[in-house]
Amino acid sequence: MLQKKIFSIAASLLVTINPFLGQAQPAPILRVNVAQPIADIQPTMWGVFFEDINFGADGGIYAEMVKNRSFEFFKPLMGWKVEGSKRTEGDILVQNRQDKQTSNPRYVRITANNASQGGLSLTNEGFRGMGIKSGLRYDFSVLCRVQSGNAKLHVDLLNAKDEVIGSGILTPEQTDKGWHKQQVSFKSTAGEQKGKLRVWFEGTGVVDLDMISLFPEDTWKGRPGGMRADMIQMLADMKPGFVRFPGGCIVEGYDLDQRYQWKKTLGPAEDRQLIINRWNFEFGHRPAPDYFQTFGLGFLEYFQLCEDIGAEPLPILNCGMACQFNTAELVPMDQLDPYVQDAVDLIEFANGDVSTKWGKVRADLGHPKPFNLKFLGVGNENWGPQYIERLAVFQKVIKDKYPAMRLVCSSGTDPNGERFDFLNGKLRDMKADLIDEHYYRRPEWFLQNASRYDSYPRKGSKVFAGEWAAQSDKTVSVDNKNNWQCALSEAAFMTGLERNAAVVNMASYAPLFAHADGWQWTPDLIWVDNLRVYGTPNYYVQKLYSINKGTNVLNLTQENSPLAGQDSLYASAAWDKATNEVILKVANVSNKAQVRIIQLDGVKKLAANGKLTLLKNNVLDAVNSFENATNVSPVEQQIAVDVKKKALSLTLAPRSFSVVRVKVLP
């Protein structure tokens, strides 16, 4: 009776004009029960998935500008152009000290014989060019060892026409230390999108060079040898609840030799043994023969990144299985121990105090404070009984030692089918903490699955929606676009994730980054070249969810049902106890404007104005680009609240995603 009365008052006072019929129509009501939140939203709800794919790390967030700096690619001089060698002025020869230095055996020996400008030189092409900013300081460094003489290094930045736009001089010192690092810094005089680095030699002498490196001054937090600040800022702006790293299939490796091994990613950069990146050769249609993992960014740096941006670290480790799309190699069960030990040691590395073996390693690397790791993934897209068998060993050992550690477990590659059903059943029987679901599907799938989690059990294992993205064409198609249709379908789907935060504790779009000249997989959340970065419409959807996360789910209904596709509308509501705000998210995937009255039940008083953040575009194919980076991007406006009726009228633009925040007053 009371409900009926509220409805009739609201309907009579908040009548709107139907824009198409031109008549006064009572707009349908969305009721939000503010008084009784139905579930907690975990602080980890919206996060990011990072993998070194599409030049995500090397050539991406790792700000190193020199490709193949240690001459360890299959072809030792790949990325380098040698000029003037084997002439009277001297020679440049690749040396290999495999017996002495297994992690970084190669270097180059320069023999300069009265060399001068225009003679003996090495030029590096960078990662599809080097992005150079005018007036910025660049830090060149090299490991060197003088054999004889006193040849000098001239370090020049070149523009696309090979004109010098910055230079420094370095004279390798003859010391009894042998190999040692030297550096020189200088400023560029002009900007260039496709720059190069040329090192030319002057004078006479024999000098050995390795780890020829160039970093810009403006790295994230100004850390020498650090990350690209513009890319990391995009992540920081999202305020992600977690960062999953280092992948992805890269964790599994093409074969077990090429799996990701975190212990090999610590310490001096020159001791981190490079391996081929599996995305180098994964797709015949997008080959990247110059794609390797230098591990210049290693686990310490990933943990540090998480700390910097206030995200929970979520490392994923190999479970004793190589990628099942590739070799599908298995570690025999009686040889699994080192893999399990890697996981146990990682927890100690992250959390142990400095008196522990691995806690001390962390402290010696400059981070005595523990990282407070709470989540750990075992296996990426692994499946079958072989996975369950191996996972059970990890689970037992880790839980015995660290009962509070929450383990993320794989449900394979797809969100349905035999493989999924088998794993989902087994994992729930095993009381898995979090089940990692992946869905690379068409936009229609995302709309049809907005209620996917409504029927999931509220008790038992939680879901980590660990990798997903709407595919405008199909998975691994080069034609997939980060268009508005895909982003809007994701926004609609995510209302279902939020509504079911009791079940879904973590979610991340994948992949995260792509280099416009070096990608293998599309779509991707953020696109970069060597100087620029832009967020896709999908990025703005993810960001809007993340920065408007709230702390509790509120029940939102239209005619007593969740709004999950009726009239092509999808909605969810959250409460933010930190700010006392109701947060409403509504996706209108139809091509017509629609009006809804939002009735906030159970509140005493509301602020007179709320904030509406609107993401919209009439064109489903609309995309962002370097030239038009904010084509589809959020716009904010004030929205009036009817404080008397504790309601507001929301006009949902065609093909739009709206986020509304309304403050509840005491």
Burial class (CB in 10 A: 0-12, 13-18, 19+), 43: middle
Q: Which of these segments, 173-181, 242-250, 449-457, 495-503, binds ligand AHR (CB under 6 A)?
A: 242-250
DSSP 3-state of 631: coil
> For residues 620 and 484, is the Cβ–Cβ distance under 8 A?
yes
Count of alpha carbons within 13 Å of 516, Cβ hemisphere only? 17
Shortest Å, Cβ 435 to ligand AHR:
15
Active-site residue, from 51, 89, 192, 381: 381
Q: Is 163 an annotated catalytic residue? A: no
Q: Which residue in the shown chain puts its C-beta closest to ligand AHR? A: 248
- Per CB under 6 A, does 226 bind ligand AHR? no
Give me the amino acid identity at 621.
Answer: D
> Which C-beta is closer to ligand AHR: that of 58 or that of 345?
58
Q: Which of these segments, 241-249, 256-264, 301-309, 587-595, binds ligand AHR (CB under 6 A)?
A: 241-249
Residue with tokens 């089918």: 417
Give the list of residues 6+ apart from residue 369 with CB closer than 8 angstroms, or none: none
> Which C-beta is closer to ligand AHR: that of 74 or that of 283?
283
> Which C-beta is closer to ligand AHR: that of 481 or that of 661?
481
- Per CB under 6 A, does 126 bind ligand AHR? no
Shortest Å, Cβ 161 to ligand AHR:
38
CA angle 418, 329, 265 (to 5 degrees): 110
> Which C-beta is closer to ligand AHR: that of 44 or that of 277?
277
**d(C-alpha 577, C-alpha 571), whole Å:** 20
> Which C-beta is closer to ligand AHR: that of 105 or that of 511?
511
Shortest Å, Cβ 467 to ligand AHR:
5
User: For residues 488-517, which are near ligand AHR according to CB under 6 A?
Assistant: 510-511
Instruction: Output the six-digit token pair for 160.
Output: 């696309």
- Per CB under 6 A, does 467 bind ligand AHR? yes
> Which C-beta is closer to ligand AHR: that of 55 or that of 349?
55
- Per CB under 6 A, does 248 bind ligand AHR? yes
**d(C-alpha 147, C-alpha 381), whole Å:** 50
Shortest Å, Cβ 279 to ligand AHR:
8
- Per CB under 6 A, does 51 bind ligand AHR? yes
Shortest Å, Cβ 254 to ligand AHR:
12
Give me the amino acid identity at 254.
Answer: Y
Shortest Å, Cβ 466 to ligand AHR:
8
Bridge pairing between strands 635-640 and 24-26: unpaired
565 preceded by a cis bond (ω within 30 of 0)? no
Among 380, 483, 495, 599, binds ligand AHR (CB under 6 A): 380
361: left (phi over 0), alpha (psi -120 to 50) or beta: alpha
Give me the amino acid identity at 273.
Answer: Q
Which residue spans within 513-591 are E strands per DSSP?
A: 513-515, 526-528, 533-535, 552-557, 569-576, 581-588
**d(C-alpha 375, C-alpha 316), whole Å:** 9
Among 247, 253, 518, 562, binds ligand AHR (CB under 6 A): 247
**d(C-alpha 182, C-alpha 224), whole Å:** 14
Instruction: Output the six-digit token pair for 150.
Output: 């006193």
Q: State the number of binding residues for ligand AHR (CB under 6 A).
A: 12
User: For residues 390-449, which are near ligand AHR according to CB under 6 A?
Assistant: 413
Among 125, 270, 312, 381, binds ligand AHR (CB under 6 A): 381
Interacting residues toward ligand AHR by CB under 6 A? 51, 53, 247-249, 380-381, 413, 467, 510-511, 521
Give the residue numbers marked as catalytic.
381
